[in-house]
Structure 1
């Protein structure tokens, strides 16, 4: 496959990759991946993702974002609060030239993660603030929408967002089509191949609105096994199978879609800027 893949949503700065990152990157390149859109979840991830771009300048394309769920120092998470966002605010502007998107941002209304209305309101406040930052910086958004697909898309439309990726989308096809009408794109990780639950939504979203992702180190082809960007080929094959297309067709279309949404991540543009 000559065109290369774009992993539109991965956490290559995650601790899970610290010990063997060079090997992971080598496998990523061997699989034909040209670009990793590297999202963050907390402000402490920001420096790491910039460092990775310094180390792998032709591969890593950094995003800054504060996730709707924040770690409590263990397995537990709390809904994001304004104080989680505050330290990040100057950094978006300081590093604006290096960023290809604002993400990972969004809403997570899973009952055990956001049990109260106050939790959901707090997430919404932080989400809207980051949508406004993306508009100020003229950047696309890389969006999480678990148990909140309808309200996430409605909020982005209300806020005048025109460039968005809804990652690991699990909403209804009718909700996805509202996003398609707004011009949004949708990506699916290798985990969709574990069962057929997403087939209906993948079938209904036009190919020109689909991208590939791994969400590594999570959502891989096998449960409880670390995922990595080289598994993007499995996402491609599964989407091709569901849509009745060749893997080459899906690869070419999704790569073109990705660079249309994230033009600053396109290596050709980056090389021209360096001249």
Structure 2
């Protein structure tokens, strides 16, 4: 199967042609998508997409940029929403110290809130991390001691040391269109070392369009370029890359029935 594990189809960039974007994805062979929650105020739109389309599932969570607006949110709030049909993960959540749109202490506490929801539900955690390698590793280790949880390092572009530490904790990793960028050899080097049975692919649309679409709005129909880049980086045939990422996806998102 061809699966886009991280789409943001609720984004305003798709307001004019959302149905066409979904249709183009299907025409390109995309058989499943995971629509990602970035804040609770848009969760209803995210969930509605999953409810309206049999090939779309969704998560519930708060991006670290939005942490400052969710300081009262509890793990119980996330758990309650996670019981809705077609919700298959917790997040996107984590730490982003590049933009610091939310205070770092608030990002860390909201991240722990998400982890507690993942621990309680058994759902996989979708983790965003940028320029926060040491703090990310510390929180992941701290919370793994508290109780185990499964997690995905989404659109991974951080350092090799954090990748190794996360892999030792059992992390999955997702590869995005950044792997196709000419200047992203450091990212490709990390991809070569990722655990082969825990790699999936994503577009993170409407962001990060892969070559040859770089600079345009990204959409799920372009996921094939990411899949081919992964195959090239790892020395796999295209069919092997598709099979490996499919197996890894269903092992992680195990609330989704495998066709």
Q: TM-score, normalised by structure 1?
A: 0.85
Q: Within 5 Å, give how 1:116-155 maps onto structure 2.
A: 119-155=103-139
| 1:88 Cα deviation from its structure 2 partner | 8.9
In the alignment, the residues of structure 2 paired with residue 156 and residue 82 of structure 1 have an alpha-carbon distance, to the nearest angstrom, of 23
User: Partner of 2:216 in structure 1?
Assistant: 225
Which among 56, 63, 66 is matched to residue 62 of structure 2? 66
Which ranges of structure 2 fall in alignment gaps of 5 or more residues?
Answer: none
State the Cα deviation string for residues 168-223 of structure 1 (Å, max 9, x = none).
11122232111111111111111320123311101111221211011000011244
User: Partner of 2:163 in structure 1?
Assistant: 176
Indicate the SS of the match to 1:144: strand
State the Cα deviation string for residues 129-174 of structure 1 (Å, max 9, x = none).
1110111122110010011134223312321243111011112223
Q: Number of paired residues?
A: 251
Asked if the contact 1:140–1:164 (Cα under 8 Å) also holds between the matched residues in 2, the reply is yes
Asked if the contact 1:62–1:101 (Cα under 8 Å) also holds between the matched residues in 2, the reply is yes
**Could you say if the C-alpha distance between residues 13 and 82 of structure 1 is closer, same or farther in structure 2, counting changes exceeding 3 Å?**
closer
Asked if the contact 2:4–2:34 (Cα under 8 Å) also holds between the matched residues in 1, the reply is yes
Q: Within 5 Å, give how 1:60-99 maps onto structure 2.
A: 60-70=56-66, 80-81=67-68, 83-84=70-71, 86=73, 90=77, 92-98=79-85, 99=87
CA RMSD of aligned residues (A): 2.0
User: Partner of 2:150 in structure 1?
Assistant: 163
Q: Within 5 Å, give how 1:34-49 maps onto structure 2.
A: 34-49=31-46
Which ranges of structure 1 fall in alignment gaps of 5 or more residues?
Answer: 71-79, 269-275
